[in-house]
Amino acid sequence: MDLNFTPKQEEFRQEIREFLKQELTPDFWARLSEESDDDSKVSLEFSKKLGEKGWIGLAWPKEYGGRDLGYIERLIYEEEMTLARAPIGHHHVAERQMGPSIIRFGTEEQRSGFLPQIARGEMSICIGYSERDAGSDLAAIQCSAEDRGDDFVLNGQKMWNSAHQTDWMWTSVRTDPEAPKHKGISILLVDLKLPGIEIVAQPLIDGSRKNIVNFHDTRVSKKYLVGEKNQGWYVLAGNLDYERAGLEKVNSCLLLFRELVDTARNTTTNGHSLMDDPFVRTELANLSAEIEVGRLLCYRNAYQMSVGKVPNVEAAMSKCYNSELVQHLANVGLKVFGMRGTVGPDEQHSVLGGKLKRLWLRSIADTFAAGPGEIMRTVIATRGLGLPRK
């Protein structure tokens, strides 16, 4: 087994690094901070620059704005972007999930209409799955879409989304209320500028923002139906595989881990560095190994996609492992720095700029966002190991 990248792939990585070095200057970050009141640092300007480079959707066919490169190249691109904390939030979800899903399930009109816009960095799409009584159990959705000739009329609500930053919503709706639970579901692409849509801010425990989106007799053309009517569960499940296969969590862990190591090395207690403590060294050494395992699980997903497969069991493995890795990292950080780790960024004795406190709070949701660990383990057991479902 050869886990090395080819010389051409390493050249591509270096090209990305040079671009990021030139673009992500202190002046750029200062300007972005002034323009945005959200910590996610979404930058339409930066997304369009990536589109000009041809790096968004680079594994897609050229006729849809892609470059026909492989998913290993896309892994390199994604890894460098996340490790540089590049502000790719405007297009990232649309590229990571919706693009491959539209290629796989969409109509030719949808492919030619949506994919080039995403590839140019112009279009953003958020996810509209969760509802008040349909979070982990996505088949329990109640948001309805009534068939009205050429349109569907939507009524209901979606939660935990980034609608305030996006143009469209990839939305699961119930098109047959009489069908069994996993039937009668359809997927619609919904323009968030349509009449009858209300976006309400939903603050989270870590201080960030998501939204509640209310639909009031919102008319959506049938040309935005993705896949077959009442067969949307299969589209939804396939879309989630692309989300779970991503590198975001493990690379975020790697970035904070590096800061944690540097801070521990430079923090003294009773005249000794924290790194002189065997407990601290052991905990950090274990974390280092765990992060590498998480990265290799993500690399496996990229390989599956590079040979034309959709990672399902593999994506469940990496999602389950890496979301729990986030919690472990937060807990280790709090053990190493004690009460200082619970201090916010603008308070006395803050450590790591308050990142540990925020990571711990955010990590509570990580193990069930995009699929709870229990469901991921069920996928691994039944589809991966062939164990019986009880």
pLDDT in tens, the chain (390 residues): 567 899 999 999 999 999 999 999 999 999 998 876 555 579 999 999 999 999 999 999 999 999 999 899 999 999 999 999 999 999 999 999 999 999 999 999 999 999 999 999 999 999 999 999 887 788 999 999 999 999 999 999 999 999 999 999 999 999 999 999 899 999 999 999 999 999 999 998 888 899 999 999 999 999 999 999 999 999 999 998 888 887 788 888 999 999 999 999 999 888 899 999 999 999 999 999 999 999 999 999 999 998 888 899 999 999 999 999 999 999 999 999 988 888 888 788 888 888 888 888 888 888 888 788 888 999 999 999 999 987
The last residue of a domain, from among 202, 230, 258: 230
237 assigned to some structural domain: no
Same domain, 276 and 358: yes
- What range defines the domain where residue 51 resides? 7-123
Spatial distance between the Cα atoms of 92 and 265, rounded to a whole number of angstroms: 35
If 0-12 CB within 10 Å is exposed, 13-18 middle and 19+ buried, where does residue 60 land? buried
β 151-161/168-174 pair status: unpaired
1 assigned to some structural domain: no
Same domain, 94 and 182: no
Residue 180 structure tokens: 């069994």
Same domain, 114 and 132: no
Same domain, 163 and 34: no
75 assigned to some structural domain: yes
Q: Which residues make Cβ contacts (< 8 Å) with residue 378, sequence separation at least 6?
A: 389
**Could you tell me if 64 and 57 are in contact, meaning their C-beta atoms sit under 8 angstroms apart?**
yes
Q: What is the CATH number of the domain that holds 354?
A: 1.20.140.10
β 225-226/185-191 pair status: antiparallel
Q: What is the CATH number of the domain that holds 91?
A: 1.10.540.10
First-to-last alpha carbon distance for the chain, in angstroms, is: 37
Same domain, 262 and 373: yes
Residue 58 structure tokens: 């680079």
The last residue of a domain, from among 66, 100, 123: 123
Same domain, 14 and 104: yes
264 assigned to some structural domain: yes
Using alpha carbons only, what angle is made at residue 234 by residues 231 and 239, rounded to the nearest 5 degrees? Answer: 130
Q: How many domains would you assign to the chain? A: 3
The last residue of a domain, from among 185, 203, 230: 230
Spatial distance between the Cα atoms of 214 and 158, rounded to a whole number of angstroms: 7
Same domain, 140 and 105: no
Same domain, 58 and 144: no
Helix %, strand %, coil % of the chain (to 5): 55, 15, 30
Same domain, 336 and 371: yes
Residue 303 structure tokens: 């390989």
> What are the start-end ranges of the H helices in 152-273?
232-244, 248-265
Closest CA to 238 of 117, 106, 147, 345: 106
Residue 272 structure tokens: 């000794």
The H or E element spanning position 88 is none
